[in-house]
Amino acid sequence: RLGALEVHWELDSTSSELQRRLDEAADFSVVLAETQTAGRGRRGRSWLSPPGLNLYLSCLKRFDRGFAALSGLSLAVGTMVLRAVESLGIEGAGLKWPNDVLAAQGKLAGVLVELSGEYQGPCAAVIGIGLNLRLTDTLRAQAGQPACDLATLAGERLPDRNLVAGRLIGALVEGLRAFERHGFACFAEDYARYDLLAGRALKLSGAQGHFEGIGAGVDARGALRVRLADGELRTVDSAEVTVRRA
Ligand code: BTN
């Protein structure tokens, strides 16, 4: 049984809606809302979701092999978002490891992947995507971080919002099927095209402490590779990354 597409006028959050129905919702269920009253971002932040401007949707995907096999899922989802955007003839966006879809140094889309279930057994991912189509000045001011929208990238050629939603859902369903079979490896080539950190001087802080190096792509699991000053190639599973200004 394949999941249906539901379009709501208003929800607290499309991801919360799928979480509440995790037990009965079919694989590939997609929930879209015109507006969210309690849109959620990563790290406990909120995601402003006024009606009529942007896209807010979540998709449920179940996996048999547990979240041990899901490393790189949010990077893969980032490439799916950019495939959808590029399929509309809109260029100029890229990915900042591990989660950001950026354009003109602002956030174009947010990806929130929430996993539940077992480490090496059945598990489920609720994948939430917020894609900025048209930001108002108020929204930009309230966002708390630099933001960008498709209207800026596309100029006069901004496609109809339904078309953008259709492409996004199509890319997501197709991409998640590929991810289920092959994991992140089959996204690595695409990711490299979108990688905004490759060759850039980076500052990192995480489990391995604070250090600096040059972005050197990602490995087959989606972990970030960083070339240190002494030549060592370090692989980083999770960290806060900032790009050093030249
Ligand atoms: C981020 O902080 O970058 C992730 C933001 C994710 C926002 C989307 S909008 C649709 C879905 N529902 C939510 O409540 N959050 C995600």
9 and 116 part of one domain: yes
Domain edge (last residue) among 157, 173, 194: 194
Residue 210 has pLDDT above 90, yes or no: yes
The residue contributing the CA closest to ligand 1 atom 2 is 41
In the structure, what pLDDT confidence band is assigned to residue 3 with cuts at 50, 70 and 90?
A: confident
215 and 185 part of one domain: no
Give me ligand 1 centre to Cα 12, in Å: 11
Tokens 């490891």 correspond to 97
Per-residue H/E/C for 59-101: EEEEECCCHHHCCCHHHHHHHHHHHHHHHCCCCCEEEECCCEE
The most confident of the ranges 3-7, 9-13, 206-210 is 9-13
Strand, coil or helix: 246: coil
Residue 81 has pLDDT above 90, yes or no: yes
Per-residue pLDDT of 139-155, as tens digits, reads 888 888 899 999 999 98
Question: Out of 42, 65, 200, 227, which one is annotated catalytic?
Answer: 42
13 and 84 part of one domain: yes
Known binding residue 42? Answer is yes
Residue pair 88/151 in contact (Cβ under 8 Å)? The answer is no
Which DSSP state fits 171? H
ipTM of model:
0.99
182 and 213 part of one domain: no
23 and 138 part of one domain: yes
60 and 162 part of one domain: yes
57 and 158 part of one domain: yes
Mean pLDDT of the chain: 94
117 and 216 part of one domain: no
Q: What percent of the chain has pLDDT over 90?
A: 80
137 and 211 part of one domain: no
109 and 207 part of one domain: no
Known binding residue 36? Answer is yes
57 and 83 part of one domain: yes
Q: Which domain holds residue 209?
A: 201-243
- CA–CA gap between residue 140 and residue 143 (Å, rounded): 5
CATH number of the domain that 212 lies in?
2.30.30.100
> How many folded domains does the chain comprise?
2
Give me ligand 1 centre to Cα 13, in Å: 8
Per-residue pLDDT of 96-119, as tens digits, reads 998 899 998 899 999 999 999 988
Angle at 169 between CA 166 and CA 171, to 5 degrees: 105
pLDDT of residue 246: 58
Residue 200 has pLDDT above 80, yes or no: yes
Instruction: Show Cβ contacts of residue 51 under 8 Å, excluding neighbours closer than 6 positions.
Output: 9, 10, 34, 35
pLDDT of residue 15: 98
